[in-house]
Structure 1
Amino acid sequence: MTLSPRLPFFVYGTLRPGEPNHDAFLRGRTLAEEPARWEGALLYDGPGYPYVVEESGREGTVYGDLVTARPEEYPALLAALDRLEEYAPDDPRNLYERLARKVVRAADGTAVQAWVYVAAPSVAARLRTRGKLIESGDWAIRRG
């Protein structure tokens, strides 16, 4: 088994502060949580939870938070988030894939490599044709 690099996580849906999974999975396990964005991606309603779809060459920004785990919590947190997102490496049944992508810190505009759970290819294809786009790119204000 290959070890994953210890990257921060870019969360854009139910793991953001104030959303239902934040306290259950992240409270007490992080060193930092800061606003960030991912450019070149679109946000779709799941419903009940969102999916990000990469869109190279297309305008789109997804807003979320960059979460840095406490070192002693990292392995358990990574495993918990993989379970939450029902992600297993190389499993064709995945709804999400965990990919390393560059996201941008809102505070200073620096780019940071982070784990992002994105729609698996089959899910992304369905969303592109029949999905409900969240035009703002921000799950927290989707209803507003």
Structure 2
Amino acid sequence: MPPLQQLVSEVEDALAPTPRTENVPLFVYGTLMTGLPNHNLFNLSVNSLSIQPATLPGHQMYSLNDWYPVILPSSQPKDVVYGEIITLKPAVHNSLIMKLDGLEGYRGDDDPSSSYVRRKAMARTKDGQEVAVEYYRWNQPLSEYCSRVVHGDWKRLIREMKEG
């Protein structure tokens, strides 16, 4: 390979996102849940090994302008967020996480401009099993446009808004 092409190749490799080596399940709690728009947009039902209802204890949900949810850790263990644990197929895991990172405005854990950052936590399935997951946590200050969703259930909030 000519030296210039070699240099270009090395620079491209250095700038490429680091592939993820572990297939940690993802806890989703908003528009990525089954039946909601981004779930279908990313073909999550097709690209997943399993999807199961779950909760994320010790977290609070907020609605940003009634458009999408954000969650933050809470000091109260009784606070809970309802969602789903999605285990992606290994063949698509890395590429799909990179696409979801784009959707969530994730630019890295140390980048203050990231809308969300990925964090690890323990989610709980309906049968009480604890599962290590990653989830997208809000990384910006709560604004005047954020309102607390006390029950922590985005699908329930959507139903309540439709019922008026």
Global fold match (TM > 0.5): yes
Counterpart residue number, 1:110: 129
Of residues 111, 115, 121, the one that matches 1:91 is: 111
Counterpart residue number, 2:49: 31
Question: Aligned residues, how many?
Answer: 139
2:59 is aligned with 1:41: yes
Gaps of 5+ in 1: none
Greater relative contact order, per chain length (Cα 8 Å cut-off, separation 6+): 1
Distance 1:82 1:19 in 2: 18
Gaps of 5+ in 2: 1-17
How far has the Cα of 1:131 moved from its partner? 2.8
CA-based RMSD: 1.8
Deviating 4+ runs (over 6 angstroms): none
Q: Secondary structure, in 3 states, of the residue corresponding to 2:82? A: strand
Q: Secondary structure, in 3 states, of the residue corresponding to 1:51? A: strand
Q: Letter of the 1:20 partner, please give it.
A: P
Distance 1:109 1:64 in 2: 14
Q: How is 1:1-144 mapped onto 2 (pairs within 5 angstroms)?
A: 1=18, 3=20, 5-25=22-42, 26-47=44-65, 48-57=67-76, 59-89=78-108, 90-106=110-126, 108-120=127-139, 122-123=140-141, 126=142, 131-143=146-158, 144=160
Distance 1:97 1:18 in 2: 24
How far has the Cα of 1:58 moved from its partner? 5.2
Q: Secondary structure, in 3 states, of the residue corresponding to 2:93? A: helix
Q: Secondary structure, in 3 states, of the residue corresponding to 1:17? A: coil
Q: Which has the larger radius of gyration?
A: 2
How far has the Cα of 1:57 moved from its partner? 3.5
85-94 or 52-61, which moves further after superposition? 52-61
How far has the Cα of 1:56 moved from its partner? 2.4
TM-score by length of 1: 0.89
